[in-house]
Amino acid sequence: MKKKNTSVTKKTTKKAIKKPLKKPVTKKKSPLITKDMIIGEVVCDHPELMGVFLEYGLHCVGCSIAQFDTIEAGARAHGIRPEYLLKDL
C-alpha cells in the first residue's frame, strides 16, 4: 500500500494592501415638516424653505393669513397637492 503525502505545502501569500479609511459622510438632517404646521411658523423657523413655497406659487409666506393657515390648507387653497409640497420641504 502506498502512503499518501500528508505534508502540508505552504502557499506564499501576498501582503494585504491597506486602504485608507474613508470619512463617514454626514448628511445635514432636514427639519421634520408636517402638513399640520402653520406656514408662518415654518418660514420663521426655517427661512431657507421660503423659496420652496414661492416655487409652488404659495406667495402667502409674507401674507397675514400665513400666521393662521396650515401647510395643507394653504396648498389646497392654491390647487396644490400637499404631499408633493411636503416632499420638497
Total domain count for the chain?
Answer: 1
Segment 48-60 mean pLDDT: 90
Provide the residue count of the chain. Answer: 89
Residue listed under C-alpha cell 423657523: 45
pLDDT for 65: 87
Residue 54 CB neighbour total at 10 angstroms: 13
Q: For residue 55, tell me if it sits in a domain.
A: yes
* 48 within domain boundaries: yes
Domain contains 43: yes
Domain that holds residue 62: 39-88
pLDDT band at 59 (very low <50, low <70, confident <90, very high): confident
Is residue 33 in some structural domain? no
In-domain check, residue 67: yes
Per-residue pLDDT tens for 62-73? 788 889 999 999
3-class DSSP state for residue 77?
Answer: helix
List, for residues 7-53, the tens digit of each pLDDT value: 555 555 555 555 555 555 444 555 689 999 999 999 999 999 999 99
